[in-house]
Amino acid sequence: MASNPPTSDSLQAFEILKDIKPKFAMINQKEFFEHKFTGLKELSYLDREDVTLYCLTEEEFVFVRTTPGVNIFDTEEYPFVYNIQHKSAEEMLIASHEAVYQYLKTKPERDGSNIAYLHNPGRCGSTLVANMVSKTKQCEVQSEPTPVLNLSLIFNKKDQPVTRESREYLDLIKATFLLLCPDVNKKYFIKPWGIETMSLFPLLHQALPGIKEMLMCRDVRPTVLSFKKLIPEQIYKSIIPMKMSLQPPNYRDLWEKVKRGEGDPDEAFCFFILSTYHAYMEETRDRDDIKSYSYESLIEHKELFTKSFLKEIGVEEEYVQAAMSALEVDSQAKSSSHNQKRTAGVKASVSDETMEWAVKLAKEEFGIELEGEKGRVHNMPHQWNKV
């Protein structure tokens, strides 16, 4: 519904009349609501605990006020924060970037030291780890918040990839994360959407020097297989052009160089996963503060993994058993993309030919050494092990 643009010192408020979100939509957009403009509100309205950042565009931040008593960090109800926000939204609020920057200037200066962030390529156990952290009750967990994906997609559609020199984006990144994690007295854990979010690697630490970053990884072959089982066959075959268009421009260009024919979907998902690992390895050439954790090490050394991971994000060892209780349940059982029914009986494979292509790509284009039939990254830096 049309209205005047957000002003520099106020919020536009809209009553949400109807949820028109497509059944399987995976991220939040303000277009998913039928809404009615109700007036302007002071920026201080953002101080309310039931008002949270919902999504963002290149011009504005979009917030929602949710039903009283709803905890958007409750991963017991839904594993992904966008599910909870959309289901319980009662009011939508829009502010310009500049208005939000001015609002944040009235708050204490922060460097992100109460935020932990888990980079990941998707289908690697990152949702499980987020649920483990949630079980400790020591962190507010946000799994796949839409604004983080929005940030990445804004950067990815530029003509040139973002680098450490892209300092013009630091204010937007900092504002987004401080809005997602508003309470200075709480710890936050953010697990972003995988695949498209690697463009944050060179910028996140610059915007928030105190943030704690980690990477979750998994052997390439089972990761591709997990995607293949999750996504319906016809969509899996046709989704690649769209997914590739959302990648940073340097990776889009590289795909055009290395793809065979129109682009095999299994090879494309190998490419997506390896691109994330390449972005991590590029950022850690001169940094040793982003530890990597693998799904395989979690399965093989559950308790040791959990102790190390919790220590990394500042959670005491006494909460290890609480975290490990998440291993007993399906971490995505209530998600809209839950694969328990969709993958039951699904037979899929990733061919040896595809893995040979991935090994060659990894070595020649990314400097990544894959070993074994499952495609384990042999030279992953700063990787946790049980020693």
Average pLDDT over residues 66-81: 88
Collapse the DSSP code of 38 into the 3-class scheme (helix H, G, I; strand E, B; otherwise coil) and give the result. strand
Average pLDDT over residues 105-122: 97
Helix (H) or strand (E) holding 370: strand 370-371
Is residue 343 over pLDDT 80?
no
Is residue 31 over pLDDT 70?
yes
Q: Work out whether the CA dihedral 342, 344, 349, 355 comes out positive or negative.
A: positive
Biggest CA–CA distance in the chain, Å, is: 61
Res 333: pLDDT:
54
Res 331: pLDDT:
56
**Torsions phi, psi of 251, nearest 5?**
-80, -35
DSSP for 290-336, written as a single string: -EEEEHHHHHHSHHHHHHHHHHHTT--GGGHHHHHGGGGS-TTTTST
Is residue 46 over pLDDT 60?
yes
Collapse the DSSP code of 251 into the 3-class scheme (helix H, G, I; strand E, B; otherwise coil) and give the result. helix
pLDDT bucket at 4, cuts 50 / 70 / 90:
low
195: left (phi over 0), alpha (psi -120 to 50) or beta: left
Res 341: pLDDT:
44
Is residue 335 over pLDDT 80?
no
pLDDT bucket at 79, cuts 50 / 70 / 90:
confident
Nearest to 204 by CA among 76, 300, 92, 118: 118
The answer to whether residues 255 and 247 touch, using CB atoms and an 8 Å cutoff, is: yes
pLDDT in tens, 127-168: 999 999 999 999 999 999 999 999 999 999 999 999 999 999
**What pTM was computed for the model?**
0.94
382 CB neighbour count, 10 Å cutoff: 16
Least confident of 4-13, 44-53, 260-269, 345-354: 4-13
Structure-token match 């780890």, residue found: 129
The answer to whether residues 315 and 250 touch, using CB atoms and an 8 Å cutoff, is: no
The answer to whether residues 23 and 112 touch, using CB atoms and an 8 Å cutoff, is: no
Strand partners, 142: 190
Is residue 199 over pLDDT 50?
yes
Token pair of 96 as six digits: 């310009």
The answer to whether residues 266 and 358 touch, using CB atoms and an 8 Å cutoff, is: no
Average pLDDT over residues 106-115: 97
pLDDT bucket at 63, cuts 50 / 70 / 90:
very high
Q: List b or e across 324-333, with b for residues whose CB sees 16 or more CB atoms inside 10 angstroms.
A: bebeeeebbe
Collapse the DSSP code of 347 into the 3-class scheme (helix H, G, I; strand E, B; otherwise coil) and give the result. coil
The answer to whether residues 30 and 54 touch, using CB atoms and an 8 Å cutoff, is: yes
Average pLDDT over residues 279-298: 97
pLDDT in tens, 162-194: 999 999 999 999 999 999 999 999 999 999 999
pLDDT bucket at 76, cuts 50 / 70 / 90:
confident
Q: What average pLDDT does the structure give for the chain?
A: 93
